Structure 1
Amino acid sequence: MITSMPGLGIILGAEFLAATGGDMAVFGTADRLAGFGGVAPVPRDSGKISGNLRRPQRYNRRLQRVFPTSALFSIRHCAESRRFYERKRAEGKRHTQAVLALARRRVNVLWALLRDGRCYEFSPPNALAA
């Protein structure tokens, strides 16, 4: 199931499973998985100051390698990912920021696929069919 997602092949899929233990119930939400993988910002607020979002200092190094690497591969091989990346670049984001934004989006997609037990489809599922 994981191998059908563009940019997430056999090796990166195996690294993902090894890093997470294969049990998604441990994380609870896609946000927690993204935080564990180091691709989601965490608040570093203090006192009256709020809104300071920084990259987390504690995250799983293996997942931090898997998510951006799969995003880079998907930019090359998937037209949808390439359009998302180019849109972020057009918004003024640097290359690294655009790749991390794509990696974060792919975490949400991967989470939904694993939660629903579905394979990746290039078009979104039809809401009326359900």
Structure 2
Amino acid sequence: MPVGGGPDACPTADRLAAFGGVAPAPRDSGRTRGNFHRPQRYHRRLRRAFSTSAPVSTWTGPSCERFHQHERSEGKRHTQAVIALARRRANVSRALVHDRRCHPPAPPVISTA
């Protein structure tokens, strides 16, 4: 699956997340269920792009900060919340490529004194 392909390179957001290494892969055996880990095969550069942009987006984007705080309020640790945010960013990226549109820039915040 080429990363630089067109909108049809990844048919679903789940496939892009798995290819980028931000989707958990099950490691179940016998009676053990719900044991997830990072997959062994994934695109290292794509994972780095998602995982480094996620914490930075919490500083600059209010919607990303709200999502991070929501995940933290559900009891997830900081690392788990950042991985969830990276997965969400993968979903948004795939949707933007699929719909052939750009991410709308946030309007500037004007504070009145």
The answer, yes or no, to whether TM exceeds 0.5 is yes
Structure 1 position 47, deviation (Å): 4.3
Q: Map residues 1-130 of structure 1 onto 2, 5 A cutoff.
A: 20-47=3-30, 49-121=32-104
Bigger helix fraction: 1
- CA change 1:45–1:66 in 2 (3 A) is same
Residues 8 and 98 in structure 2, CA contact (< 8 A), matched pair in contact too: no
Name structure 2 gaps, 5 residues minimum: 107-113
Cα RMSD after superposing both structures: 2.0
TM norm structure 1: 0.71
Percent of residue pairs identical = 57
Q: Which has the larger radius of gyration?
A: 2
Name structure 1 gaps, 5 residues minimum: 1-18, 124-130
1:41 aligned partner, one-letter code: P
After TM superposition, the structure 1 stretch with the greater mean CA deviation from structure 2, 52-61 or 109-118, is 52-61
TM norm structure 2: 0.80
Separation (CA, whole Å) in 1 of partners of 2:78 and 2:71: 9
